[in-house]
Amino acid sequence: MSKLNWYEKLNQYFPVEEMKSKKHMEVLLDEKGDIYHKDEGPRHVMMYVETEEFVFIDYLLVAKEARGEGVGQKLLDSLKSKNKPIILEVEPLDYEESDTAKRFRFYERAGFRQAKSIGYSRISLATNEVNTLEILYWSPDDASEEVIYEKMKHTYKNIHTYKDEEIYGKAYQDVTEVLTYDNKDELKNA
């Protein structure tokens, strides 16, 4: 992996509307260091939240030259060994965009499922455009999507929007405008 710092590596890979600012991540690492973590190696960068009840992967990047070598799988396995639900956000599957399909397959092979009852759309402070993401999760105890939804709300309020006005000069939308829960699909399948 190039000699860029961890933030530059993430910033080159992730779309601008999904990126937290470097200041935001540094504030999280500094002020929420008990739950917000950076796992960095020569071939990967992973930013994640770990609470008593769940893990949220904020960013996971494996260097292009290391893909297919099991680096990402090892990182996920280390989180799975904590034996709590793991949640993450991904760009919606777009068959025209091979990266999104590869990403979905990678997480599916690792046992992640899409939370079909959870909607996630927010206006990016960087672009002012609506950014819609899918929620994927893995759970050792088969947690319901409602439980995952509650943990996502917690992450949004305590991590994604942490000190947003101070850092970005304006606030992100309220959690109730960004995350929605519609369990009609879950009830049909019950």
Residue located via tokens 């799988």: 73
pLDDT digit string (tens) for 32-90?
999 999 999 999 999 999 999 999 999 999 998 998 899 999 999 999 999 999 999 99
Residue 160 belongs to a domain: yes
Distance of CA 54 to CAs 57, 96, 103, Å? 10, 33, 21
Alpha-carbon distance 185 to 92, whole Å?
18
CA distance 42 to 87: 24
Q: Specify if 1 maps to a domain.
A: no
* C-beta pairs of 43-47 under 8 Å, 24+ apart in sequence: 43/1, 43/69, 43/71, 44/1, 44/71, 44/72, 44/75, 45/6, 45/9, 45/10, 46/75, 47/10
Whether 158 maps to a domain, the answer reads yes
Asked which of 95-99, 169-173, 174-178 is least confident by mean pLDDT, the reply is 95-99
1: pLDDT strictly greater than 50: no
* 100 confidence band (pLDDT: 50, 70, 90): confident
**pLDDT score for 99:** 80
Is 73 domain-assigned?
yes
CATH assignment at residue 183: 3.40.630.30
Handedness of CA 50, 51, 56, 59 (dihedral sign): negative
Residue 29 lies in a domain: yes
Q: Is residue 173 part of a domain?
A: yes
Asked if the structure places residue 129 within a domain, the reply is: yes
pLDDT per residue over 114-155, tens digit each? Answer: 999 999 999 999 889 999 999 999 999 999 999 999 999 999
**What's the confidence (pLDDT) of residue 185?**
57
Residue 53: closest CA among 158, 187, 176, 124:
158
Q: What confidence category does residue 187 fall into, taking pLDDT thresholds of 50, 70 and 90?
A: low
Place of tokens 């965009």: 97
Cβ–Cβ < 8 Å for 131, 17:
yes
C-alpha to C-alpha distance for 108 and 40, rounded to whole angstroms = 24
Are 147 and 130 in contact, with CB atoms under 8 Å apart?
no
> Domain containing 52: what range?
6-189
Q: How many domains does the chain have?
A: 1
Query: Which helix (H) or strand (E) element contains residue 42?
Result: none
